[in-house]
Structure 1
């Protein structure tokens, strides 16, 4: 499974990774809630291991946002050094699927993760996105057009994944910069615009293949579906959602 570990203690992250290493899971260690917010948009994680105390939020706040703000349905394993009687109830009511106290027992951790893996409710990391003649394989991080593989850099792949995951939605430059580059605030967008230009060229996202990556003046970009007939475009489909 592809597992996100939101834990601000590097030693604890390393310990969890060592415990789960025999089972061949792919772990991404994160230290702040804002990091998870970014990565959850870029990676189809199968499971989240979530600590109670974080530098910029509580685990309960993170869980509430995931379940209600992003409708994230994959299993969550809550871990904490707290031993208050009501902690387990709070975590489960917030949407956790299981709960472990620190210090973690390696064998118990492995067993709980395996059990949660059986609860997956969506296609795992190997899921494929298909839009018309375009196909994005997330497990191999590959894109094809009419079966033809297209070479993409890591940042280009992340952008394509975002646009293909939100077709028809207007995504702001600030949103794209924060998720792909981890930047926020007053930053130059020239780098983003250059990447978008390359994507249009590499993938033919000019409408000729049924999809158009459209620039929205002074705001951002939207991936639109277009239909073609003799004489031009029939229609563009898309709603401003961000």
Structure 2
């Protein structure tokens, strides 16, 4: 899967994907130099939605010198990395993860680049269960030995305005003093209706002609019946026996 890393400028560097994290930085007024990812499919969505350039490479092959050149003479350097979450997910726990998976050790590559470039601020996010694994604690210990103040905790994005219950492990590290996530910005999570209720209703399989993101999946009659009898917070046990 993807091996990500990004550069953003003030400067910021980050492990990439399709560029959602970069976009968040840009919207908050933080200039981004570049995003780095192994997957060429990330290039179009990244560059179409962000001013930073896309660099296709494996961060295992990325050198400290290359990263330093991207940061150039910035007064403040931010390194943001998001190692693929598959090895650390609950789903993957049925397998024995012993470090042989190529994606498993990417946090060590992140630590290598952090040690070589010493950015002012480092951030990463992953699934909450990443904290159960040695590689994560090795990463934290490395940052602390380098003199960083490190904070990490599981963050519920619904407390920050995202209409979804999405819990992620977030890590922040700074060379300049204590750093931590801001307090939740809302008390009551935003509902899906509040977020997209303004969009017109679609039938199963229909797509809005002027909004390519507003699409409804094609559903069988059986699944349509199941949806109609489903209850908020319910389960498949709410469905009629014939379903």
Where on the TM-score scale, by shorter chain, does this alignment land: which range?
A: under 0.3
Structure that is richer in strand per residue: 1
Q: TM-score, normalised by structure 1?
A: 0.28
